[in-house]
Amino acid sequence: MHLIYFDESGNSGNNLDHTQQPVFVLAALIVPVASWTAIERDLEQVIEAAFPTPRPLDFEIHANELINARGFFRQFPIAKRLQFYQDCMAVAKRHGLKVIHRAIAKKRYAEWLLRTFGKGIEINPHIAAYALVAQVVNAYLKELPGSPFGIFISDENKEVVKDLEKSHRVLRGTAGPLHLSQVIEKGFFIDSRKSLLLQLADLCAYSLRTKEEQAAQLPVKPLNATVAPWVEPLMHQGKEALQDVIAWLQAEQGQKKERPGT
């Protein structure tokens, strides 16, 4: 069994013209159940070494706050914050974790929506990225020895919870290349403050978004550029069923139009 933790970076909802966050990234951190306890213990040790108790009750590892010195982390120098970030990523590397992601350039995505559906149609990029990442995760699990099953665990995001729940249900039940044969149960949504592994997924997503912005030759802050290479040992790139996902999105939108009141 594997636990797959989903988190995003660059989220601006359906605002696809956000100049400060031109790229959306959804990342899935794949964690074998057998390693879960040891990974959490190692992360706790890294936290205690960097920020000894007592800590705030709502302490949470959050990439944006580490990089931009917000909240609890505001009191610490950048060198300490970066070292902590790197130490957390080193835990993932040491345990051989893998992360699968999909980046969506919002401007191009908006152009595709307009070209495909016309004006007034909004499909959150999170939904498109979820279908793409889920399909690659499923293929990755299927290729592992014994073809283990997985459970999807996502950070709470009220904007897309209902749509993701529906997408998950449909993709588990559908036939063909998008069928999630290795995924059991429903997708679970939890408060990231209650999960160190979900917080680790947040660090991965932030580093991946920076890498994608660099690849697109977009302006990248020097601090962001520092954290980008730390995710490279974890990256797994599978073959996306892009055309199948596009066809699925079009079919789902067509069904919405046929339903009264939608």
Query: What domains can be seen in the chain, in order of their start residue?
Result: 2-258 (3.30.420)
Sequence-separated (6 or more) residues with CB below 8 Å from residue 236: 30, 98, 99, 100, 136, 140
Specify the amino acid at residue 94: R
Lowest mean pLDDT among 34-38, 94-98, 134-138, 249-253: 249-253
pLDDT for 259 equals: 53
**In this structure, what is the dihedral angle of CA atoms 257, 241, 214, 50, given to the nearest 10 degrees?**
100
Query: How many whole angstroms separate alpha carbon 80 and alpha carbon 203?
Result: 16
Query: How many whole angstroms separate alpha carbon 183 and alpha carbon 15?
Result: 31
* Model confidence at 107: pLDDT above 80: yes
Average pLDDT over the chain reads: 93
SS3 label, residue 246: helix
Average pLDDT over residues 12-39: 94
SS3 label, residue 173: helix
70-92 pLDDT, tens per residue? 999 999 999 999 999 999 999 99
Specify the amino acid at residue 57: L
Element housing 73 (H / E): none
* Model confidence at 139: pLDDT above 70: yes
29-57 pLDDT, tens per residue? 999 999 999 999 999 999 999 999 999 99
pLDDT for 262 equals: 47
Question: Beta strand pairing status for 2-9 and 23-32?
Answer: antiparallel
pLDDT band at 156 (very low <50, low <70, confident <90, very high): confident
**CA atoms 252, 257, 260, 262: torsion sign:** positive
Percent of the chain with pLDDT over 70: 97
pLDDT band at 174 (very low <50, low <70, confident <90, very high): confident
